[in-house]
Every structure is written in structure tokens, then in C-alpha cells.
Amino acid sequence: MKKYFPYLIAVILAVLLVYQWEKNASESIFKTANLNALTDSVSYYKNQLGTSTASIHTLQLEAKDLKKVILEKDKKMAALTSEFSKVRNIISLKSEASLPPVEIRYEKSVGSDSTQPFKFERTGFNKTYWYSMGYKVTQDSLIIYPLSIPTETTIITGFKRKWLLGRQTLSTDITNSNPYISVQQIKSAEVIIPAPLYKKWYVWLAIGVAGGAIMASN
């Protein structure tokens, strides 16, 4: 068995070198990606559906760094993530729905039955924390413009469990700050990326058992 010992050592060293190289490469990629994410601004492009899509680089953090960078600075985010036993992904965005002018014409003009011409015009603007709306009222119609509805949306994906030792379930929560906006439907999917062979525990177990058997035989 002694003749196989050098080969076993060579295999173990090769695996260790590959693992270390991959780890260093991943750390370098993460650092570059995070630097780009921190300095990136929202960009927009026309997607294949013909509509506009907003895009930004994604920040990649370990759980301990996520707590320091985001959760300790955002109490609302910390409260929402407390529902999860393990957080996988967080998305926070601000959006605003701005509608084009909405004109409602009356079936009959106000005062149309009168013998005297009846004309008037009233305009105004109403702004609250959750919406803003301008309007124009005449004897013939009601025009609403501008109309905007802002909201802050938080999307969290992670594992939940009903009790301490209960089964974990991968879930996605979507929360809007605007109480007048409700989520009607959610479709959530996550692509599972398999770990490389050299990262699997049973590979190292097999190498350890084989190495122990060879050393014992010597």
C-alpha cells in the first residue's frame, strides 16, 4: 500500500489547492461586485415585453454583514426580517404610480335644463402622505390630473418555521408601506446552484477514510 501513499497525498493537495483557489477567486469577485453595487445607480432599459425595467447591481453579504450593514440601521427592515429564521434575499425599493389625466364626462351638462347658460370651472389640488391629486370640475366633466401614489416596497425571501424545531419553509414576503396598495398575486422561484464536488462533505469523508486506511496498513 505504500506505493499508493504519494498518490493519495497528491490528490489531497490538488483538492486543497483547487478549493483555496476557488475561495480566493470567489472573495475577489464578491469584493468587486459589492463595490459596484455600493456605487451603482438605478438604470432603465426596454425589456422584451416592450415595457421599462429598472436594474441595479446586487449587494452580496454574509449573514453577519447583512445585520451590520442593513438591519442595525433600518428598524423597519429588522422588524420584517424577524419573521424569518434565516434570510436569503432582501429587496427594498421606492416606486410611484403616476396616472395620465382621467376625464369623466357627464351624460348631461350641469344646468342643461336651464334657460340660461350655466358655465363654471373649479380647480384644486389635494396632497396627503399616501397620494396626491389635482382636479378640474366644469359643467361638462371632471378631470383628475395629476394623480400619483407613492410606496416603499420590501421583498424578503428566507426560511420560516412555526416553532423552534419545526420544519423550515422557504417563503417570500412582500410589504408595501402604502396601505392603499395591496398585493394580489405572488410568484416566487429560486434557482438552486449545486455545490462543486470538492465542497461536498462526503468527498472529504471518503478522502479521510482512504487516507486513514492506507496509513493504518503501513
Task: Report pLDDT digits (tens) over 43-68.
Answer: 899 999 999 999 988 887 778 888 88
pTM of the model: 0.69
Is the pLDDT at 31 greater than 80? The verdict is: no
Contact (Cβ atoms closer than 8 angstroms) between residue 142 and residue 104: yes
Q: What is the mean pLDDT of residues 24-45?
A: 62
Percent of the chain with pLDDT over 70: 69
The closest of 185, 163, 170 to 88, measured between CA atoms, is 170
Q: How confident is the model at residue 95 (pLDDT cuts 50, 70, 90)?
A: very high
Q: How confident is the model at residue 27 (pLDDT cuts 50, 70, 90)?
A: low
